[in-house]
Amino acid sequence: QLVESGGGLVQPGGSLRLSCAASGFTLDRYAIGWFRQAPGKEREGVSCISSSDDSTTYADSVKGRFTISRDNAKNTVYLQMNSLKPEDTAVYYCAADPGIATMNPFLYAGWGQGTQVTVSS
């Protein structure tokens, strides 16, 4: 089971840190992706981290602002989001898969329930 947390309401330019905690399995053996879905839009990849060497990938829209990381001791993956913009508003999901890390949501087997991020003044 994956559980996201850390969402909320933040002003433009602010920061949030999302957490993706796993229970029942060890996250460091899985590729983890963060995705988001805004109302009326398709789910899009935000960032992912591999299980083999912790290499990371970011969507162009978040490069330089978001950072994905793992804390294996806590069995948790984080998404640090800085310099948030109104267009970052969405429900954010984490997903896990034993395969390669990818920004394609259709290739992930396990999903969390999502956490709402709203960027507004």
Give the type of residue at 49.
Answer: I
Q: What is the pLDDT of residues 6-24, one digit of tens each?
A: 999 999 999 999 999 998 9
pLDDT: which is higher, 48 or 99: 48
- pLDDT-derived band at 109 (thresholds 50, 70, 90) equals confident
DSSP secondary structure of 48-116: EE-SSS--EEE-TTTTTTEEEEEEGGGTEEEEEE-S--GGG-EEEEEEEESS---S-GGG--EE---EE
Q: With a cut of 90, say whether residue 70 has pLDDT above it.
A: yes
